[in-house]
Amino acid sequence: MRILQLHCSSMEYTPTKKEIESAEEITPETKNLKEVVVTFIAVEEGDDKTVAKKAIAEIKESMNKIGCKKLLLYPYAHLSSKLASPNSALSVLKEMELLASDLDVSRAPFGWTKTYKLEVKGHPLAETSKVITKDGSSDDTSEAVKSESKIKSYWYIMTPDGNMQEIEKFNFSKHPQLEVLTKYETVKKRSVDEPPPHVRLMKKLAIADYEPASDSGNMRFYPNGRLIKSLIERYVTDNITSYGGLEVETPIMYDSHHPSLESYFNRFPARQYNINSEGKQLILRFAACFGQFLMAHDFQLSYRNLPLKLYEMTRYSFRREQSGELVGLRRLRAFTMPDCHAFCKDMSQAIEEFRKRFDLSRNVLHGLGLNESDYELAIRFTEEFYNENKQLIEETVKKIGKPVLIEMWKEQFFYFVLKWEFNYIDSQGKASALSTDQIDVENGKRYNIEFFDEQNKPQYPIILHNSPSGAIERVIFALLEKAAKDSKEGKKAHLPLWLSPTQVRLIPIKPEFLQFCKNLADKITDSKIRVDVDDRNESIGKRIREAETEWIRYILVIGEKEVNSKDVNVRDRETGELKQISFDDFISEIHEQIKNKPFSHLNSNRFVSIRPQIMV
RNA sequence: GCUUCGAUAGCUCAGCCUGGUAGAGCGUUACCUUGGUAAGGUAAAGGUCGCGGGUCCAAUUCCCGCUCGAAGCUCCA
C-alpha cells in the first residue's frame, strides 16, 4: 500500500462521473472539510487487513504528532503501478475506515473521477509518504537518512609520520583500541552480552538513574550526580571562555516554519521531539546551532570582528533516538553539551582556529581525567579538502602521536568538509564520540549570516562547530567506564579528586568526638574541600568499608589520639596506607591535586546519619 | 523500529519447570553494643507477586493478550 498524507487547512472534492463499473453507488455531492489530514491511498496487490491495520496505526501515530483529529481517506490509484483489484481495494479501504472510527473519519467514494481543491499546511510534518507492506515495516525514512547510506567512504589509517595506508594493510597489533574503532566504524558489527558497567556504577554511586515517568533517555541526577555534572560544566565553560568563547543562552525550542530552520531540518533525519502549541509546530533543539546562527544573523559583522566565537552549554539538547539505541549515560534523548561555533572570514582563518580548538579539546579532556591513551582520533574529510590541506591533517595526526582512523569522501555530502572526533573505547568495544569539531561551509549561507570583507563586500563566514568535551553525561560515562576498567585490572576504581562528591570523610569513634569532628570539618570546608562526617551508630570497620565503596579518597578516623594531637591520621584510599601528617600538609596535598579546577560545596547533608538513602 | 529477556518487600533477587495462604540479603525502625582502619548483635515493620483474560476445585506459578522496562541489533547527522 502506498500512502501520501497531507495536513490540510481545507479540502473540497466533487465526484464527477464513474470511472469503473464496480464504482460505489452514491449520490454525487461536493464535500468540504477544514483542518483535516487527507490521506491519498493506493491499495496494491496482496494488501489485506493486516496492512490496513498497520496503515491506520501509522496514520494515527502521525496525526497524534501533529495534533489533528479529522481524517479523510481518499482512494488514489496513481500512486502505484501494481494496484489491487477494485473489489479487494474497496474492502481494504472500508476496513481502514472502520479501524479509524475513533477519529472523525470520512472516505471519498471509490471508483469515481473527482475534482478536488486542497490547501496544504506548510510545516515539515505536513507532507509524508509511506509504503506499507505485509511483513516489512513502513518506509518512512527521511531523504537525509536514505542518501546518507549511499555515500561512499574510503578508510585509511594515518600514522604520525604522515603515512596514509589502507586499513587492510595496517598492522593493528600495537593499537588494539584503534582496531576496535576501525571495525566499529567500517564493519558496523559487534556483539556484546553483558550490560555496560557504568550503568551499575551510576546507580551505585547515586549519580544518576532512569526516570520511568519521563521519556526514555531523560535521566534524573541525584545530588552527587548534579554536583559532578555542574563541576564539569563549569570547568568546560571556564576553558571555552578563556579560549575566547562568548557565552550566550538560546531557546530550546524552535518554530519549524522558520525558513532557515526548515531547510536545515531537511538536511537531517527527522529524529527530533515535536511539540504542538497554539497551532505552532515546535521542535526541540538537538544542538545549539540554530540559536547561535539566528543570533549571528542579527549581528552587524565586519571581517574585523572575526573570528567570532559563540558558546553555549546546552542544557538540554534533545535527540529522539530510536528507543532501542538508548544506553545509560552513553546515549540519551536529553543531554547537556557544550557547543561552540567560530565564525571565520575565510578558510585560512578557519584552519588557524581549528588548530586552537583541537588543542583546547585535548586540554579539556586531559583536565577531566581522560588522556590520549583513553581515546582514539578519527578524522573525516572530503578528498578535495585533503588535497588542499594535507599539511594540516598530517600535523594534527602528529600532535596525537599515534595512528588515526581516516574516512575520506569522494564528494561533499554533509554541510562540512572536515570533521574529527575523539572516541572513547569502552570495555565492551563500543566507540563513543567525545570531543568533536567540524568545518562547515554551508550554514553561513543557509542562515544568511553576512559579514563585510576588506572590500566592503558581503560574504558568508565559514563556521566551526566544536564541542571540546562532548556531552557532559558522556564524559561521566567515560569516567565511570574507565574506573570499571581499572577495577577489572585490579586497580582501585576512582573519580578524579576534584569531581568526588565527598573528598574527605571523618569517622568519630564515639559520639563524644562529634564536636571535634564538627570543628575540624568547618576548618576543612573553609579550605574549599568537601568533607562529611559519618556519625552513624555503626562499627568503625563498617563505616570505613562504606567510605571505601563510595570511592572516598581520604578517611580520617577521629578518636582520643587525634583529639589530643595537632596532626591528622589519614587513610589514603589510593595507596591504602595510613599516614600521620600535619593538618596544613594534608590540606596542601589536596589543593595540589585540585588546583585550577572549579569547587562546589558538599551537595549532601554533612552528617551521614541524617541523609536519605538514595542507593543501596 | 526489530530480536531477546524481564516485571515478586524501599533496593538486589530467589520461588514458577512439578499449581495448594510469600522467601533471603541489603536497607529502614527499635533496643543492645562505644567499637582504632573493609560488614558487631537481637528483634520488628514492610508484598493486591505489573495489568486484563483463559484453564483449573484452586494461579505469583500454566496459557493468551496488553503495558512498562532493560539489553542486543539497526542507528548515532
How many domains does chain A divide into?
3
Range of the domain at A413: 153-247+286-479
Is residue A11 within 8 Å of A120, Cβ to Cβ?
no
Most confident of A35-39, A245-249, A275-279: A245-249
pLDDT digits (tens, 9 = 90+) for A346-368: 999 999 999 999 999 999 999 99
In a domain? residue A485 = no
Q: How many Å from the CA of A179 to C1' of B73?
A: 21
Q: How many Å from the CA of A522 to C1' of B41?
A: 35
Nearest residue to nucleotide B39 when comparing alpha carbons to its C1'?
Answer: A542
Q: What is the 3-state secondary structure (H, E, C) of A476-538?
A: HHHHHHHHHHHHHCCCCCCCCHHHCCCCEEEEECCHHHHHHHHHHHHHHHHCCCCEEECCCCC
pLDDT tier, A267 (very low <50, low <70, confident <90, very high otherwise): low
Closest CA to A501 of A557, A466, A558, A552: A552
Choice between A333 and A272, residue whose per-residue pLDDT is larger: A333
pLDDT tier, A55 (very low <50, low <70, confident <90, very high otherwise): confident
What percent of the residues of chain A are helix, what percent strand, and what percent coil, each to the nearest 5? 35, 30, 35
A386 with A533, same domain: the answer is no
A113 with A211, same domain: the answer is no
How far, in Å, CA of A530 to CA of A594, rounded? 11
In a domain? residue A372 = yes
* pLDDT given for residue A101 in this prediction: 81
Of all nucleotides in the shown strands, which has a C1' nearest the CA of A509? Answer: B35
A401 with A452, same domain: the answer is yes
A563: CATH: 3.40.50.800
Reduced to 3 states (helix: H, G, I; strand: E, B; else coil), residue A392 is helix
Burial class (CB in 10 A: 0-12, 13-18, 19+), A394: middle
pLDDT digits (tens, 9 = 90+) for A153-188: 889 999 999 999 998 899 999 998 898 888 888 765
Of all nucleotides in the shown strands, which has a C1' nearest the CA of A548? Answer: B38
In a domain? residue A269 = no
Of all nucleotides in the shown strands, which has a C1' nearest the CA of A558? Answer: B36
Nearest residue to nucleotide B69 when comparing alpha carbons to its C1'?
Answer: A212
* pLDDT given for residue A120 in this prediction: 79
A135 with A164, same domain: the answer is no
Q: What is the arithmetic mean of pLDDT over A399-428?
A: 91
Of all nucleotides in the shown strands, which has a C1' nearest the CA of A492? Answer: B38
In a domain? residue A395 = yes
In a domain? residue A148 = no
* pLDDT given for residue A200 in this prediction: 86
Choice between A118 and A450, residue whose per-residue pLDDT is larger: A450
Question: Residue A71 — φ and ψ, nearest 5°?
Answer: -130, 135
* pLDDT given for residue A293 in this prediction: 95
Instruction: Choose the final residue of a domain: A479, A511, A530.
Output: A479
Instruction: Choose the final residue of a domain: A140, A164, A191.
Output: A140
A507 with A470, same domain: the answer is no
Instruction: Choose the final residue of a domain: A80, A113, A140.
Output: A140
How far, in Å, CA of A254 to CA of A244, rounded? 27
A53 pLDDT higher than 70:
yes
A142 pLDDT higher than 90:
no
Q: What is the arithmetic mean of pLDDT over A52-69?
A: 80
* pLDDT given for residue A427 in this prediction: 79
A131 pLDDT higher than 80:
no
Task: For residue A400, give the amino acid letter.
Answer: I
pLDDT digits (tens, 9 = 90+) for A383-399: 999 999 999 999 999 99
A381 with A469, same domain: the answer is yes
Q: How many Å from the CA of A144 to C1' of B67?
A: 34
CA distances for A423 relative to A292, A317, A326, A372, angstroms = 26, 20, 18, 10
A447 with A506, same domain: the answer is no
In a domain? residue A570 = yes
pLDDT digits (tens, 9 = 90+) for A269-308: 557 788 878 888 888 998 999 899 999 999 999 999 999 9
pLDDT digits (tens, 9 = 90+) for A63-101: 877 878 889 998 887 777 667 777 778 888 888 888 888
Is residue A344 within 8 Å of A304, Cβ to Cβ?
no
Q: What is the arithmetic mean of pLDDT over A312-324?
A: 88
**What does the block give as the cell for A138?**
513502513
The neighbouring-strand residues paired with A581 are A568
In a domain? residue A130 = yes
Q: How many Å from the CA of A530 to C1' of B42?
A: 37
**Average pLDDT of chain A, as a whole number:** 88
A70: CATH: 3.50.80.10
A403: CATH: 3.30.930.10
Reduced to 3 states (helix: H, G, I; strand: E, B; else coil), residue A150 is helix
Of all nucleotides in the shown strands, which has a C1' nearest the CA of A148? Answer: B77
Give this complex's ipTM. Answer: 0.90
Of all nucleotides in the shown strands, which has a C1' nearest the CA of A609? Answer: B28
Choice between A260 and A166, residue whose per-residue pLDDT is larger: A166
Q: How many Å from the CA of A60 to C1' of B2?
A: 21
Q: What is the arithmetic mean of pLDDT over A214-241?
A: 93
In a domain? residue A78 = yes
Q: Determine which of A467-476, A479-488, A531-540, A580-589 has the lowest per-residue pLDDT on average.
A: A479-488
* pLDDT given for residue A65 in this prediction: 74
pLDDT tier, A139 (very low <50, low <70, confident <90, very high otherwise): very low
A497 pLDDT higher than 80:
yes
Task: For residue A313, give the amino acid letter.
Answer: M
A290 with A432, same domain: the answer is yes
A319 with A364, same domain: the answer is yes
Choice between A513 and A109, residue whose per-residue pLDDT is larger: A513
Choice between A273 and A602, residue whose per-residue pLDDT is larger: A602
Is residue A498 within 8 Å of A597, Cβ to Cβ?
yes
A466 pLDDT higher than 90:
yes
Q: How many Å from the CA of A135 to C1' of B60?
A: 36
**Peptide bond preceding A196: is omega within 30 degrees of 0, i.e. cis?**
no
Choice between A580 and A88, residue whose per-residue pLDDT is larger: A580
Of all nucleotides in the shown strands, which has a C1' nearest the CA of A616? Answer: B11
Q: How many Å from the CA of A518 to C1' of B35?
A: 20
pLDDT tier, A138 (very low <50, low <70, confident <90, very high otherwise): very low
A177 with A50, same domain: the answer is no
What single string gives the DSSP state of each residue in A272-287? S-EEEETTEEEEE-SS
Q: Which strand B bases fall within 7 angstroms of a protein CB?
A: 1-3, 10-12, 25-28, 32-40, 68-77
Q: How many Å from the CA of A130 to C1' of B28?
A: 55
Choice between A593 and A22, residue whose per-residue pLDDT is larger: A593
A298 with A371, same domain: the answer is yes
A131 with A202, same domain: the answer is no
Closest CA to A69 of A41, A99, A102: A102
Choice between A106 and A553, residue whose per-residue pLDDT is larger: A553
pLDDT digits (tens, 9 = 90+) for A3-17: 888 888 888 888 877
How far, in Å, CA of A471 to CA of A346, rounded? 29
Q: How many Å from the CA of A306 to C1' of B57?
A: 86
Burial class (CB in 10 A: 0-12, 13-18, 19+), A110: buried
**What does the block give as the cell for A615?**
542507593
